[in-house]
Amino acid sequence: MDSEIICDASEEKTMTEDTTVSCYDDHAQAYDAYQFAAVPGYREMLDLAAEAARRYLSPDARIIDLGCGTGNASLAVLGKMPSARIFLLDGSERMVSVAREKISSAHPRAILGYRVADLAENWAEGLESEGYDCIVSTLVLEHLPLDRYRRAIEECFRLLKPGGWLIASEGYAEEGSDMREWFFQEMEVRRRALDPKLSDFVAGLRGELEQHYYTSKARKAQWWQEAGFCSSAVLWQYLCIALMAGRKPL
Ligand SMILES: C[S@@+](CC[C@H](N)C(=O)[O-])C[C@H]1O[C@@H](n2cnc3c(N)ncnc32)[C@H](O)[C@@H]1O
C-alpha cells in the first residue's frame, strides 16, 4: 500500500476548519467563467462523464449530482439524456442557487430536488436508500479528508439501486509523479488569458481557502471496492484529474 499523501494548497491555514465551501460560495458568480477557461480538461471531463451516464443508464435515470457546483455536470448529462431527473447537492448555498437557475431554465422538469449540505457530515440523511440510478460527482471528492471520503463513498453505495453507477472525477496524487504540479502550472498559464481582475480574485480565494486531500487511484479504487462497488475503472485521465466509474452489483 502506498503511503498516505495529503496535500493542501496552503500549508499555513488551519486544518480544523474546512474553508473550501466558503471559497466556492464567495465566487459562485465568477465560477463558470474561470472554470471553463482555466481548468485543463474540464469540458472534456464533463462530456465524458455525461457520455458514461448515457452509456450505462436508462434515459429516465434518477441521478444525484454530488457537489453540483453551478450545475455543469448536470447540464452535460441532461444535454445527452434530457429525460433524466437530477437531485442537486452541494455545501455552498450560492453554488446550488446558480445551478438551480441554470438547469431550470434549460430543462424545466429535470430537478428532482436539492440540498445544501456538508459532504463531510450527514449529507445523505433522509435520502432514499437504493433510490438512485447514478451518482455523478465532478471535482468534489478530493476536498474531503480521507476518512470522510471513505464514508461518503459508503453512503453513495447505500443510495444507489442495485446495478447503479458512481461516476466521479477527482484529483489524484501518485508517488514520484509531478502531475499535480504540472496540472497547476498549466492552470496558472491558462488563467492569465482571463480578465486579471476576475482571474486574480478567484485564484487568490482558491489559493487561500481551498483544501485538497490527495491519494493514489489504486488506494481510492480499493476503498470503492471495500464499499461494495465492483468493476471500478478509469475512463479518462488528464494529468492528475481522472474520471472513474464503478457499479453496485445487481
Ligand atoms: C471544483 S467545484 C466542482 C463543482 C461541479 N461539480 C463542477 O464540476 O463544476 C467543487 C464543489 O465542491 C463543493 N464542496 C467542496 N467541499 C464540500 C463539502 N465538504 N461539502 C459539500 N460540498 C463541498 C464546493 O462547494 C464546490 O461547489
- Cell numbers describing residue 74: 448536470
pLDDT number for residue 224: 97
Quote the pTM value. Answer: 0.94
Q: Is residue 1 situated within a structural domain?
A: no
Residue 134: closest CA among 47, 44, 178, 74: 74
> The domain spanning residue 83 has which CATH number?
3.40.50.150
Ligand 1: residues with CB < 6 A are 18, 20-21, 24, 35, 67-69, 72-73, 90-92, 95, 118-120, 138-140, 143-144
SS (H, E, C) 13-57: CCCCCCCHHHHHHHCCCCHHHHHHHHCCCHHHHHHHHHHHHHHHC
Closest-CA residue, ligand 1 atom 5, reads 69
Query: Which three three-digit cell numbers place residue 69?
Result: 457546483
Q: Which residue has the cell 486579471?
A: 196
Measured in degrees and rounded to the nearest 5, phi and psi for residue 223 equal -65, -40
In this structure, which amino acid lies at residue 245? A
Helices 146-159 and 217-227, interaxial angle, to 10°? 40
Residues 124-141 have pLDDT tens digits of 999 999 999 999 999 999
Residue 198's Cβ-count burial label (10 Å; 0-12, 13-18, 19+) is: middle
Model confidence band, residue 17 (pLDDT cutoffs 50, 70, 90): low
CA 138–ligand 1 middle distance (angstroms): 8
Q: Residue holding cell 466509474?
A: 245
Query: What does the pLDDT read at residue 18?
Result: 80
Q: Which residues face 230 on adjacent strands?
A: 247
Q: Quick check: is 151 in a domain?
A: yes
Give me the domain span that covers residue 190: 20-247
Residue 2 domain-assigned (yes or no): no
Count of structural domains within the chain: 1
Summarised one tens digit per residue, pLDDT across range 32-77 is: 999 999 999 999 999 999 999 999 999 999 999 999 999 999 999 9
* Residue 196 domain flag: yes
101 located within any domain: yes
Distance CA 95, CA 66 (A): 12
